[in-house]
Every structure is written in C-alpha cells, then in structure tokens.
Amino acid sequence: MKKYCRLTAVLAAVIAVLVAGAAAHGAYPVRFVDTAGRQIEIGAMPRRVVSLVPTITEMIMRLGAADKVVGITWHSVLPPDCAGKTIVGGFLHPDPDRVAALKPDLVFYAGLQEEIPAKLAGNTRLVDLESRSIEDAFSHLRLLGVIFGRQSRAEEIIAEEKRQLRVVSAKIDRISAAKRQRVIRLMGRTAVMTPGSDSFQQEYIRRAGGIPPDFGRKGSIISVSLEEWRRFNPQVVYGCGGDRRAAKLLEQPGWREVEAVRNGRIYFFPCDLTCRAATHPGAFTSWLAARIYRREFEQLANNVLPEKIVSQRPVSIDLAYVKRARIIESDIRDFRNRTLVVDFGQPLRVVSTLEGEKQGVERVANHYFPPPSWGLGHDLGLAGLRSHTLEVLGLDPASTAILFTGADMNNLAVVKKEYRDLAVYALVTAGVHSNAVRMAEDVGRYYEPGTINTIILTNARLSRRAMTRALISATEAKSAALADLDVRSSYTGLENRATGTGTDNVVVVEGEGTAIDNTGGHAKMGELIARAVYEGVKKAVHRQNGLVAARPVFQRLRERHIDIFSLAAAAAPAGKAGAMRREVERLLLRPKYAAFVEACLAVSDDYQRGLVADIEGIDSWCRAVRADLAGREIAAPLAVDGVEKLPPVMDRCLGALLGGARGRLMP
C-alpha cells in the first residue's frame, strides 16, 4: 500500500507540474503533491533553501538558482556552484540543528532522512521529491523550474537530454536482439549488491540497450547471491568510482567465472552520473551504451546523425592579430563535440607539445570529445582523429594547430593578465578526477585524450627561444595551481599530490607586437604567462570538477581513498557501527576537528617527503584531541584498520579522532 501511495503521489506531482507550467511565468502560488503524498503550496519565491538531496541540488544549480541555496550535504560537489555552500551533514544523516540554524524557508529532503521531518515539521516547509525514473526526474526539473521561475531553462535541459536519448535509441535499434548484452550495475562494499528491479538505474541499462537482471526484488539496493550472479552471467559490469572496493569481490572464486570478469569488461563512471536521476540521463545513457557496444558505435556506417557543425558562439579575445574566436558545436560519431577555434589575421608560428613547431598556422583549436566517444576512434590513431575532426569542422589541416581534450569546452577558462603595454591570454580546459599523476612517482599509462590543455596568446612577438621557454613557465604555473588546490594523484593519492594529468598539452602562439626574447620566471612576460595559466587552471578545474581549495574535509579524505565511515564502523563499540559513523560525521562538521584533520593531511604530506623530521608534537596533539572528545584520558591509541595502510601521521590523527569518538559512545 505504501508503494502504491508513492506511485500515485508521483503521478499527482507530474499532473500538478503540468498545471503549474501552464500558468503565467513566475506565477504563485505553486501547488503540487510531493512524493510523500502531501499537498504543498509555495506562495512566493523561496529565498533560503536547504537541499539535502544531491539530485535536487544538482537540478537547482543547473537551473541557475544557486543564489537561493544556503545549505547542502557534503555529497554535493557538482555543479561547481555547490562550492562554498554551508555543509549540514551527509545525505544519510544530515544534522537537523544545522539545517534549522540556516533559517530556511524551504527544505528538500529524502524519505530515508526520518530525523528531518521529525524535528523540523512545523518550523519550515518540507518537500520530498524522489526520482524513480527518468520521467520522474524530468517532472521534478519542471516543477523546480516553476518554483524558481526558471521554466524555460528547465525545458532547455530536458530537450537536450531527450535529444540524446533519442539518438541512443536509434543507434540501439540497429543492434540485433542476439547481440544485446547482459549488464549489471555493481554496488556494495563488503558484499556484491545491485539496484532493485524498480530502480531508475535499471532503466539506464535498458535505455542503453542492455539487458538488466531481475532478481524479483525491488528497492534502491539489494544483495546478490553467488547463485544469482552465476545464473545471470553478466557480460558487462559497471559501477561508480565508489564501487571499486566491490569490484575486488569479483576476484573471488565463483564470482570471477562470469563473462564480464573473464573478458575485462568492468567499467567505472562518475558517481554524479550513475547514482542520480537528475539532469544528465541522456548524457549518461549515451556513455553507457557506447561502452557496452563500442564496436557497433565506432563504425561510421552506423551513424544516426549527419556529421556537421550545429552551432557557433563567440569568445572574446582582444588581440590585434586575432580575427575571431568561437566555440563550434558539432555532431561527430552521433555525439555533440565542442571546439574552441581562434582564427588569426595572418599566418603565424606556434609551438605545440602535441604537434611540435609549426609555421604558417592560421588558427589554433582545442577540441572536446565527449565521454561517450572516448575510445571510439583509437584505431584511427592521432593522425586519423585529427584528419576526421578537421574535415567535419571544415578546417584546413595544413594551417591548423589543434589539441584534443576530454574536458568540456563549456568549462573553458579565459584569463587575461596585463602589465603596462603587455597582455597575455591563457585559454585553459582542465579535469583532474581520472588521470591526475605525480611525475617521477606514478607509472606511465595511456589514457583518453587529455585534460589540462592551455593555449597562450600574447600581444607581443615571441622569439623561438621565448616560445619554448614559455612552455616551462606555463607548466610550472599549472603544477603550482594543482599543488595549491591539493589535487591528488589518481593512482597514489594517499601519499602524493598531482603535478599534472599525464595528457596535458600547451600551445604557444608567436603573436604580433613588441619583440620578446625571454619568458622565464624573472621576465615580466614570463610572470604574466604564469599568472594567467595559474588562474586559468584553478578556474577550469573548478568548472569541470567542482574543486576549490576550501572544500569539505570529507571530500579531501575521499580524494586520498580514505573511507572514514568504513574506518568508523570498524572502530565502533559492539552494535554501535551506525552511531559511530554519525558521531564521526558530526565531529568533522565542527571546524575545530575538521581543522585538526586538515592540518594532519598537510603534515602527513611533508613528513612523507622528509620535510618534517619528527612528529612528537603530532602525538601530543592527538592525545589532547582524543581526551577532549572522550571527556577523559585514553591511554592507548586506537589502531586504524583500513583497506590501505595509512601514512604514519594519518594513522595517528584518524586514530585519535576515532578513538575519541568511540570513547564518547562508551560509558
């Protein structure tokens, strides 16, 4: 009966949204039925919103109403507008007192957050919106568009996602039933789990042309027995980044004897896409389908759309020799690509770390391949990809210098730095979540085309010496930006900051104007180049990955692959694992203890490098923190039992935090 009520409530919400959408723009009151079955009326534009549901947070941000949001959970990182918002806890256990302290006039929450309505009902307006399908997500997006006066933006987002779903559907229709693949979403930590048959995640699989399992159980997550696993025999397994621990379970006898494991067809995607029915269902379905059916998707004969330019928009660059700059949107291999193109008034020399020195260059470009197309053109090699891309864009290969990237050109950072009569532009795209590396530490591997790409333009004529020296200044500035953001290596993040991504490239343009022969660190032009690149990298990383220096300590621990909540559960008194996890989360929401952990992170890095010789002072601080938390002296430090061995400083630090939290829960 409860499930029936939920379904009828969702239908009622859809109907109410359609009625509200027919009203005049910005008309209030807005009336609808939420997922909990309650009649909701919003009489005016909300001014102080707390969103405890990452899906809803994402929708509000993409609608352009970020200024209305005053509080979120630490699980919300993207869109980048989430940075700087007050954190009120995690998705599973947000802190009602922190929510109340923000004095919200509207709170979006989830049904499993039982403490929120219990403590806040009557004090603020509560709305429960949960998406069990892609259509639910579209309905909720429309509703939020009405609530925040962003109806047209909501329709734009929905139209684009539906366009991508139609394209994927058309491509999948060309694949015979005999070739359809059995696909399972992997979840869990200590046991193999998957979404239930009624989850939107199973809809993602069906929309991508896969055959999902049906184990006869519903719910957001269910356990999978070895017998069920072997009987289904998945041909493709996928999960989000947080499911890599569950993938290790598949190395065990019985679990590893299925086709997907034997053939190495296990894929991981960003959690912001896999775990939400929000604003990117078309984008994720496209990506998943392209992974499942790579061979079918890479054949140009199977294209649904003509390969052509779709639209163009200008980019402002105020340099005399720049004729125009623009971002071109095009359809290539049925996916929407975007290319930054800067046209010159006359041929110039450039130095490119991808293509070497080139003369007679009439334009430079940076081309974005969207995730679904990653890997589809590898058989062509760089030369083939270059030729095909430029052909679609109608650009002359002989007079074009081009870079390739997996960072979205919509997240391009354009930074200008000036001093007297000198000016420098840095055009930067960047992403650091999948292949960030620390040079001289990490093992070299090949990955999809690149991430931190930089084009440097000046209002001077750079000599060949100055152009090559600019590569060093730009690279040093990039590494400085990553260090100041504490970007971690994707491979050895527990110990190492990243210096780049392993696929970074730079183009330096000769330019026109005053002759410059020195772009090193002691030259003013070198300083301007470095400042522009430094700021450009930080802006681009924020736009692509939502990453800023002042991010929650939860996020910084996760970037080091430290699962603080698994550690908390392992350290909990008997029968109090849940209470221990909640206690640790609430402690880390307090600046005093968050700063303690953050300081330990910094000292740990320097201790690993040999810059700190003795950590006796850290031991004293840890003892004090442990006693402060427990309310009494605790003689023995708590041993931290994790999947990976922690560096000494972090072992002491987290041992103190967990030991103190454990002491608070024990008499």
Q: How far is residue 140's CA from residue 130's CA, in Å, rounded to a whole number?
A: 8
Q: What percent of the chain has pLDDT over 70?
A: 92
Q: How far is residue 597's CA from residue 657's CA, in Å, rounded to a whole number?
A: 8
pLDDT digits (tens, 9 = 90+) for 438-491: 665 655 444 334 479 999 999 999 999 999 999 999 999 999 999 999 999 988
What per-residue confidence (pLDDT) applies to 491?
Answer: 87
**Mean pLDDT within 563-583:** 91
What per-residue confidence (pLDDT) applies to 507?
Answer: 98
What per-residue confidence (pLDDT) applies to 18?
Answer: 46
Res. 22: pLDDT tops 90:
no
Q: How far is residue 342's CA from residue 655's CA, in Å, rounded to a whole number?
A: 54
Cβ atoms of residues 612 and 618 within 8 Å = no
What per-residue confidence (pLDDT) applies to 248?
Answer: 86
User: Which residues is 308 bridged to in the sheet?
Assistant: 331
**Helix axis angle, 577-588 relative to 564-571, nearest 10°?**
130
Q: How far is residue 502's CA from residue 506's CA, in Å, rounded to a whole number?
A: 13
What per-residue confidence (pLDDT) applies to 26?
Answer: 54
What per-residue confidence (pLDDT) applies to 637?
Answer: 66
Res. 5: pLDDT tops 70:
no
Question: 12 pLDDT band (50/70/90 cuts)?
Answer: very low
What per-residue confidence (pLDDT) applies to 323?
Answer: 97
What per-residue confidence (pLDDT) applies to 442?
Answer: 56
**What type of residue sits at position 459?**
N
**Mean pLDDT within 372-395:** 87
Which of 210, 251, 216, 269 has the alpha carbon at shortest distance from 234?
Answer: 210
Question: 20 pLDDT band (50/70/90 cuts)?
Answer: very low
Q: Is the dihedral of CA 595, 596, 598, 603 positive or negative?
A: positive
**Mean pLDDT within 485-508:** 92
Res. 133: pLDDT tops 60:
yes
Which of 472, 482, 469 has the alpha carbon at shortest distance from 534?
Answer: 482
Res. 231: pLDDT tops 90:
yes
Q: Which residue has the tokens 């730095």?
A: 417
H-only helix segments in 87-133: 96-101, 115-120
Q: How far is residue 525's CA from residue 515's CA, in Å, rounded to a whole number?
A: 11
Q: Is the dihedral of CA 438, 443, 444, 446 positive or negative?
A: negative
Task: Provide the strand spans (E) within 172-223.
Answer: 183-185, 193-194, 222-223
User: Of the given ranges (5-14, 379-388, 402-411, 465-474), which has the lowest mean pLDDT?
Assistant: 5-14
Alpha carbon separation from 459 to 234, 416, 453, 516, 658 (Å, rounded): 58, 11, 20, 10, 56
Alpha-carbon torsion, ordered 542, 543, 544, 549, to 10 deg: 10
**Mean pLDDT within 219-239:** 94
Cβ atoms of residues 456 and 470 within 8 Å = yes
Given 3-state DSSP classes, what are the helix, strand and coil percentages for the chain, each rounded to the nearest 5?
Answer: 45, 20, 35
Tokens of 377: 């053109």
Alpha-carbon torsion, ordered 249, 269, 290, 378, to 10 deg: -90
Q: How far is residue 177's CA from residue 166's CA, in Å, rounded to a whole number?
A: 19
Q: Are strands 505-509 and 453-458 parallel, antiparallel or unpaired?
A: parallel
Question: 2 pLDDT band (50/70/90 cuts)?
Answer: very low
What per-residue confidence (pLDDT) applies to 241?
Answer: 77
pLDDT digits (tens, 9 = 90+) for 540-562: 999 999 999 999 999 999 999 89
What per-residue confidence (pLDDT) applies to 642?
Answer: 58
Res. 11: pLDDT tops 60:
no
Cβ atoms of residues 298 and 333 within 8 Å = yes
User: Which residues is 106 bridged to in the sheet?
Assistant: 49, 125
The three-state secondary structure class of 514 is: strand
Q: To which H or E segment does residue 368 belong? A: strand 356-368
What per-residue confidence (pLDDT) applies to 143?
Answer: 96
Question: 299 pLDDT band (50/70/90 cuts)?
Answer: confident
The more confidently predicted of residues 205 and 122 is 205
**Mean pLDDT within 159-163:** 96
What string of DSSP letters covers 210-244? -B----S--SS-EE--HHHHHHH--SEEEEEGGGH
Tokens of 208: 């991508």
Rounded to an integer, what is the distance from CA 257 to the centroid of its chain? Answer: 32
Res. 626: pLDDT tops 60:
yes
- Mean pLDDT, the chain, rounded, equals 90
**Mean pLDDT within 165-186:** 95
Question: 634 pLDDT band (50/70/90 cuts)?
Answer: confident
Task: Provide the strand spans (E) within 395-543.
Answer: 400-405, 413-419, 422-429, 453-458, 460-462, 505-509, 514-516
Q: How far is residue 294's CA from residue 61's CA, in Å, rounded to a whole number?
A: 33
What per-residue confidence (pLDDT) applies to 262?
Answer: 94
What per-residue confidence (pLDDT) applies to 539?
Answer: 97
Instruction: Indicate the burial class of 461 (C-beta count within 10 angstroms; 0-12, 13-18, 19 or more).
Output: middle
Tokens of 298: 């890479």
What per-residue confidence (pLDDT) applies to 152?
Answer: 96
Q: How far is residue 499's CA from residue 438's CA, in Å, rounded to a whole number?
A: 5
The three-state secondary structure class of 319 is: coil
Q: What percent of the chain has pLDDT over 90?
A: 76
Res. 19: pLDDT tops 50:
no
Q: What are phi and psi of 630, to 5 degrees?
A: -80, -20
Q: Are strands 69-72 and 49-51 parallel, antiparallel or unpaired?
A: parallel
Rounded to an integer, what is the distance from CA 317 to the centroid of its chain? Answer: 29
What per-residue confidence (pLDDT) applies to 347?
Answer: 98
**Mean pLDDT within 532-536:** 98
Q: How far is residue 111's CA from residue 474's CA, in Å, rounded to a whole number?
A: 49
pLDDT digits (tens, 9 = 90+) for 637-655: 666 765 568 999 999 999 9
Q: How far is residue 346's CA from residue 325's CA, in Å, rounded to a whole number?
A: 14
**Mean pLDDT within 593-607:** 96
Cβ atoms of residues 552 and 464 within 8 Å = no
What per-residue confidence (pLDDT) applies to 23?
Answer: 43
User: Of the given ranges (9-13, 403-407, 653-657), which has the lowest mean pLDDT?
Assistant: 9-13
Q: Are strands 422-429 and 413-419 parallel, antiparallel or unpaired?
A: antiparallel
